[in-house]
């Protein structure tokens, strides 16, 4: 047997080999970590984007978490209460959610909103068209007035008046000057009225756009707002049903409580 030679001035000491020890699992920490994760999962919201975080992803996350917990805790240390609550969670989230009645009402509301919006759009378009027509009439009348005034100014002076005999022989017919004057008077009268008519239509348009109480379509706007509010409520309710918002929070809390009740002293 070979022995290590003793170095001069240094006595020989046999070397001790330390065996690595498996760190003892802290079961309280394991429970606490799992319970915290469960509470976060219970409050998790899903993505509305296609391919985003969904119920399927959520179930997978819960299973990974609880499988890891059970493996580390050991099957012998799991309570029947925990097993029952996990089974209940798994069974509940695997059932299809019936939202057919909600979808039917949402579809009906969409139709009503579309009809009301179409009526409002049609009324707005009609008023816009009327405003454009009045402005066009105003522009054309103004141009026509200028033209008539120019032609009146070009008429010979002697046509503006005449002797009694000339008027007698002319009968009921009017001279060009008289015709121009009559047309000018009519155009001026129209141009005095058009600004007020345009302003009235613009006020009407503003009352519709701003949903004012005196709007002729105030009833329709109130109806549309009520339909939209109900639609938003139903969409929110549908999302909550599909995502099992309330149920997931309650079920994960129930499993978390069962984990909390597991006694660490049972752990080996």
DSSP tag of 266: G
Q: Is the pLDDT of residue 24 over 70?
A: no
The pair of structure tokens assigned to 180 is 């121009």
DSSP tag of 53: S
CB atoms within 10 A of CB 248: 21
- The pLDDT value recorded for residue 215 is 85
The pLDDT of 209-223, averaged and rounded, is: 87
86 alpha-carbon distance from chain centroid:
36
- The pLDDT value recorded for residue 1 is 46
Half-sphere exposure of 183 (CA within 13 A, CB side): 19
25 or 247: which carries more pLDDT confidence?
Answer: 247
Distance CA 72, CA 77 (A): 10
Under DSSP, is residue 52 helix (H, G, I), strand (E, B) or coil? coil
Average pLDDT, the chain: 83
**pLDDT tens digit string along 153-181?**
888 865 545 555 555 555 556 788 888 89
User: Please, which pLDDT band fits residue 62 given cuts at 50, 70 and 90?
Assistant: very high
Pick from 232, 236, 207, 234: nearest CA to 219: 207
Instruction: Report pTM.
Output: 0.55
DSSP tag of 7: B
CB 229 within 8 A of CB 52: no
- The pLDDT value recorded for residue 13 is 46
Q: Is the pLDDT of residue 2 over 50?
A: no
């Amino acid at each position: 047997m070979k022995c290590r030679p003793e170095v001069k001035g240094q006595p020989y000491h046999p070397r001790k080999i330390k065996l690595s020890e498996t760190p003892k699992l802290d079961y309280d920490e394991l429970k606490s970590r799992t319970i915290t994760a469960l509470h976060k999962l219970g409050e998790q919201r899903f993505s509305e984007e296609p391919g985003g975080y969904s119920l399927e992803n959520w179930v997978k996350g819960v299973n990974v978490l609880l499988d890891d917990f059970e493996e580390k805790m050991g099957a012998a240390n799991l309570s029947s209460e925990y097993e029952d609550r996990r089974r209940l969670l798994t069974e509940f989230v695997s059932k299809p959610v019936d939202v057919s009645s909600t979808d039917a009402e949402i579809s009906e509301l969409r139709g009503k909103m579309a009809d009301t919006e179409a009526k409002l759009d049609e009324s707005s378009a009609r008023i816009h068209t009327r405003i454009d027509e009045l402005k066009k009439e105003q522009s054309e009348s103004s141009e026509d007035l200028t033209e008539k005034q120019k032609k009146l100014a070009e008429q010979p002076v002697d046509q503006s008046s005449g002797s009694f005999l000339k008027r007698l022989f002319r009968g009921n017919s009017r001279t060009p000057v008289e015709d121009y004057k009559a047309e000018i008077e009519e155009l001026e009268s129209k141009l005095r009225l058009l600004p007020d008519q345009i302003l009235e239509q613009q006020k009407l348009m503003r009352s519709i756009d701003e949903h004012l109480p005196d709007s002729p379509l105030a009833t329709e706007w109130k109806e549309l707002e009520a339909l939209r509010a109900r639609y938003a409520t139903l969409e929110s309710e549908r999302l909550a049903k599909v995502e099992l918002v309330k149920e997931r929070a309650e079920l994960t809390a129930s499993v978390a409580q069962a984990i909390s009740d597991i006694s660490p002293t049972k752990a080996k």
